[in-house]
């Protein structure tokens, strides 16, 4: 197993990770970045991004991630493919295992592993992710102006996104699996008093209809077992996200939903020298541009933390020069 030591290790890609890399590289932190199995995160499943500054004609998610990677590499970021499988934040220096290939120690670590949207698990849903099925109303709602759409979910996020869509779309149908909401009373009241939102309780999504794009949704009343087709051009899934933090459990403070806790106004975690950026610590906004912003913050926080420590020396480490993984 290869052993290396670096000033700055970035775990995860996406807007947060790549922005952190750009700023860290420009600060001469010589960052090494492991991008995991899906470099670019959720944006790799996004066909068109219209709300990220600098792209007046819009851009496809994968292309935007390639652009960010190219910019990070231009300043000297060492971008590698590999999955962090274990971390040891209670050691000095902090240590990370990359599969069975490498053992990396670092003065600072930036976590940008993101979060994964929860899906229904339907084959038709997977097939039409680029054709009208979305997990982000704020990202994609604009494309469905004056059209009829459906949204699956019963919590605060679903209610908030339904309300957002109601201002853009001609009609929004909420598909709620049980006989009531899980949302707060305030959010429920907002939904129920919006004229162009219809709520179908005890309703499950059976299939997403359409060949290339969404043409409707087959739904079933789970009390009567009666199936019917709902004509819509877009389907939004709002049943939650799962932060990609499994390997950090027991090593860093997480909230009740598994998101990394950061000190307000910063990206600092409870572990000195470890920072978190992007959706892995943000369950509120979940936008590419806000992720990029916290990526910038994390690199600045790391740079300032290093400066405050003075020269760092780990005399007990003997590291080979081979950097191939």
Decide which of 237, 262, 285 is a domain's last residue: 237
In a domain, 317, yes or no: no
Asked if 148 and 56 sit in the same domain, the reply is no
Asked if 86 and 30 sit in the same domain, the reply is yes
Domain count, the chain: 2
Return the ∠ at Cα 142 (arms to 180 and 38), rounded to 5°.
Answer: 85
93: cis peptide before it, omega within 30°? Answer: yes
Asked if 272 and 225 sit in the same domain, the reply is no
Decide which of 174, 203, 237 is a domain's last residue: 237
Selection from 226, 194, 228 nearest residue 209 by Cα:
228
Annotated active-site residue in 136, 159, 279, 301: 136
**Could you give the CA distance from residue 174 to residue 219 in angstroms, rounded to a whole number?**
11
The list of the chain residues with pLDDT below 50 reads 315-325
Asked if 197 and 247 sit in the same domain, the reply is no
In a domain, 316, yes or no: no
Asked if 154 and 203 sit in the same domain, the reply is yes
Asked if 147 and 208 sit in the same domain, the reply is yes
Per-residue model confidence (pLDDT) at position 175: 98
Per-residue model confidence (pLDDT) at position 244: 94
Per-residue model confidence (pLDDT) at position 112: 97
In a domain, 314, yes or no: no
Asked if 282 and 146 sit in the same domain, the reply is no
- Whether 279 and 246 have beta carbons less than 8 Å apart is answered as no
In a domain, 320, yes or no: no
- Whether 273 and 108 have beta carbons less than 8 Å apart is answered as yes
- Which residues, at least 6 apart from 313, have a Cβ–Cβ distance to it below 8 Å? none
Asked if 44 and 130 sit in the same domain, the reply is no
In a domain, 26, yes or no: yes
Annotated active-site residue in 140, 279, 282, 301: 140
Asked if 221 and 277 sit in the same domain, the reply is no
Per-residue model confidence (pLDDT) at position 47: 64
Per-residue model confidence (pLDDT) at position 322: 44
Reply yes or no on whether 8 is catalytic.
no
Annotated active-site residue in 8, 139, 159, 169: 139
In a domain, 55, yes or no: yes
In a domain, 206, yes or no: yes
- Which CATH number belongs to the domain containing residue 230 in this structure? 3.50.50.60
Domain that holds residue 50: 2-116+241-309
Decide which of 214, 237, 260 is a domain's last residue: 237
Asked if 138 and 207 sit in the same domain, the reply is yes
In a domain, 315, yes or no: no
Asked if 111 and 249 sit in the same domain, the reply is yes
Per-residue model confidence (pLDDT) at position 314: 53
Q: What is the DSSP letter of 261?
A: P
**Could you give the CA distance from residue 95 to residue 76 in angstroms, rounded to a whole number?**
22
Question: How do residues 262-274 score in pLDDT, each as one tens digit?
Answer: 999 999 999 999 9
Reply yes or no on whether 169 is catalytic.
no
Per-residue model confidence (pLDDT) at position 323: 42
Question: How do residues 214-255 score in pLDDT, each as one tens digit?
Answer: 999 999 999 999 999 999 999 999 998 899 999 999 999 999
Asked if 100 and 7 sit in the same domain, the reply is yes
List C-alpha distances in Å: 35 to 43, 99, 184, 298: 13, 13, 37, 17
């Amino acid at each position: 197993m290869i052993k290396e030591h670096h000033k700055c290790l970035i775990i995860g890609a996406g807007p947060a990770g790549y922005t952190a890399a750009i700023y860290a590289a420009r600060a001469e932190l010589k960052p090494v970045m492991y991008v995991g199995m899906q470099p670019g995160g959720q944006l790799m499943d996004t066909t068109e991004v219209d709300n990220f500054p600098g792209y007046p004609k819009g851009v496809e998610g994968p292309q935007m991630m390639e652009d960010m990677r190219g910019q990070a590499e231009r300043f000297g970021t060492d971008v590698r493919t590999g999955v962090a499988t274990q971390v040891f934040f209670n050691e000095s220096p902090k240590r990370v295992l990359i599969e069975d290939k490498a053992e990396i120690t670092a003065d600072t670590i930036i976590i940008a592993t993101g979060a994964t949207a929860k899906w229904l698990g339907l084959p038709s849903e997977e097939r039409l992710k680029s054709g009208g099925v979305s997990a982000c109303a704020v990202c994609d709602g604009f494309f469905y102006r004056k059209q009829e759409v459906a949204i699956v979910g019963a919590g605060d996020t679903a209610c908030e996104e339904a309300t957002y869509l109601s201002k853009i779309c001609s009609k929004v149908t909420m598909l709620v699996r049980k006989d009531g909401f899980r949302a707060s009373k305030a959010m429920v009241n907002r939904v129920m008093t919006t004229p162009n939102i219809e709520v179908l309780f005890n309703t499950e999504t059976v299939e997403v209809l359409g060949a290339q794009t969404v043409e409707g949704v087959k739904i079933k009343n789970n009390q009567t077992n009666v199936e019917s087709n709902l004509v819509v051009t877009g389907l939004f899934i709002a049943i939650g996200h799962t932060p990609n933090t499994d390997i950090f459990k027991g090593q860093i403070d997480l909230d009740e939903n598994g998101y990394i806790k950061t000190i307000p106004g910063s990206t600092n975690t409870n572990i000195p020298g470890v920072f978190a950026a992007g959706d892995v610590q943000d369950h509120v906004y979940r936008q590419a541009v806000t992720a990029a912003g916290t990526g910038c913050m994390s690199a600045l926080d790391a740079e300032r933390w290093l400066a405050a420590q003075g020269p760092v020396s780990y005399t007990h480490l003997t590291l080979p020069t081979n950097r191939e993984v």
